[in-house]
Amino acid sequence: MTTSLPPPSPAALAHCHLVESRLRDEIAAAGGWLPFDRFMELALYAPGLGYYSAGLRKFGSGLDKFGGDFTTAPEMTALFGQTLAHQAAQALDLAGGDILEIGAGSGRLALDLLRELKTLGRLPERYLILDVSADLRQRQHRLLEERAPQMLERVVWLDTLPETFSGLILGNEVLDAMPVQMLAWRGADLFERGVEWRDETFHWSERKLTEGELFDRAGQLPPARDAQRGAYLSEIGLAASAFVATLAERLERGVMLFIDYGFGAQEFYHPQRDQGTLMCHYRHHAHDDPFYLPGLQDITAHVDFSAIAQQGLSHGLQLLGYTTQANFLINCGLTDILARTSPEDVSTYLPLAAQAQKLLSPAEMGELFKVVALGKGITPPLLGFARGDKRYLL
């Protein structure tokens, strides 16, 4: 399938070869076999080389050949950030403090949130951004400087998580980009999938697991309870769970809100999903080969929201809500925000209505994307979960 994808430019291909060389060195240093989560970590985040660390264009509409690799909701429409701002305002009212956005992308979400919060009279004292990419931090600063220079004094870029935090922690399409362990259940046996370099290319290679944290965690999942099923491939996101635990330890009072594509555990490990959820994005094409053009493509996996919720609960957080993106945005007033534009203004209203449809439609982002809220010292309900709460699916 990858043979039909758009070819990279000579400069991009040269960069890919550097990333490939870094990965080959890592495999050799590890004795010829590298766990997939380490491969994914380097392909995405190796300093100066990884997909999110190098100066490659990632976000775009796909309308031209330089339009990036994928489009997120904030890139698609300001309606997303404007609507989310109403939940942010309530969270700040309940908790006080600041907003901390993890992985702010191009800065569009920050821009739209701050503009709407100003309209609501609920701007935070500080809007903190933690992003591993120096290139993206520069783009975020440039966007805010061009579109909302008066907001810049509130925005602070962080190199590390603050030791303590109160307010709203926000992550839109962050957890899906964290490295995952790849597993293969084969009858009663469990294998961890890793990567080898041979015959001038990367290959999958498996090693049997018999003990350790990964083995224990995998033994609690649905595939382990059906040893007669045969081969079953999937992922475990230990990095995402550990990240939530770290945030929980540092949150004094407030709300953590994650928006991403994924499922509860029963649906995530459904018998028919026997090839897992790993997906790659290159120039607005989706495919399942993580070894294709390392450093030039995004590598993601769906989020197991049951694991995220359980990790929060085990570290002293409350589960404040879980629902679909469509329910969440409707609860937060997306249709009211859309109604600010008169349908008689056809040239403005019709594109906005189409954008709203993509956010809400079950065939687009409305059902696949979920929103989970965890908190500390907060009295529910939160605005976004007033109707359609789906915590029973976790």
131-158: per-residue pLDDT in tens? Answer: 988 889 999 999 999 999 999 999 999 9
The Cβ-side half-sphere exposure at 359, using a 13 Å CA radius, reads: 31
Q: Looking at residue 57, what is its pLDDT?
A: 56
pLDDT in tens, the chain (394 residues): 676 889 999 999 999 999 999 999 999 999 999 999 999 999 999 999 999 988 655 544 444 344 566 789 999 999 999 999 999 999 999 999 999 999 999 999 999 999 999 999 999 999 999 998 888 999 999 999 999 999 999 999 999 999 999 999 999 999 999 999 999 999 889 999 999 999 999 999 999 999 999 999 999 998 887 755 678 999 999 999 999 999 999 999 999 999 999 999 999 999 999 999 999 999 889 999 999 999 999 999 999 999 999 999 999 999 999 999 999 999 999 999 999 999 999 999 999 999 999 999 999 999 999 999 999 999 889 999 999 999 999 9
Q: Looking at residue 55, what is its pLDDT?
A: 66
Contact by Cβ (8 Å): 180, 36: yes
Q: Looking at residue 56, what is its pLDDT?
A: 59
* Cα–Cα separations (whole angstroms), residue 111 to 17, 56, 180, 259: 36, 21, 30, 17
What is d(CA 336, CA 199) in angstroms, rounded to the nearest whole number? Answer: 58
What is d(CA 178, CA 240) in angstroms, rounded to the nearest whole number? Answer: 6
What is d(CA 85, CA 96) in angstroms, rounded to the nearest whole number? Answer: 15
What is the gyration radius of the CA atoms in the chain, in angstroms?
A: 21
Q: Which residues in 187-304 belong to E strands, given as ranges?
A: 189-198, 201-209, 231-236, 251-263, 279-282, 285-287, 298-300, 303-304
Nearest CA to 306 out of 269, 332, 275, 348 is that of 269
Query: In degrees rounded to 5, what are phi and psi of residue 182?
Result: -100, 130
What is d(CA 271, CA 104) in angstroms, rounded to the nearest whole number? Answer: 35
Strands 285-287 and 369-376 come out as unpaired
Q: What percent of the chain has pLDDT over 70?
A: 94
What is d(CA 297, CA 279) in angstroms, rounded to the nearest whole number? Answer: 10
Q: Looking at residue 62, what is its pLDDT?
A: 43
Q: Looking at residue 50, what is its pLDDT?
A: 95
Q: Looking at residue 134, what is its pLDDT?
A: 86
Query: In degrees rounded to 5, what are phi and psi of residue 372?
Result: -120, 140
Q: Using the CB atoms, write b or e for 259-278: b if 16+ within 10 Å.
A: bbbbbbbeebbeeebeebbb
Architecture per CATH, domain 73-177+239-268+302-393, reads as: 3-Layer(aba) Sandwich (3.40)
Q: Looking at residue 187, what is its pLDDT?
A: 84
Number of C-beta neighbours around residue 246 at 10 A: 12
* Cα–Cα separations (whole angstroms), residue 338 to 80, 271, 332: 11, 40, 12
Q: Looking at residue 229, what is its pLDDT?
A: 64
Q: Looking at residue 64, what is its pLDDT?
A: 39
Between helix 108-119 and helix 78-95 the angle, nearest 10°, is 60
Beta bridge partners of 189: 186
The tokens describing 354, both together, are 């189409």
Contacts of 61 by beta carbon, 8 Å cutoff, 6+ apart = 67, 68, 71, 75, 76
Contact by Cβ (8 Å): 38, 26: yes
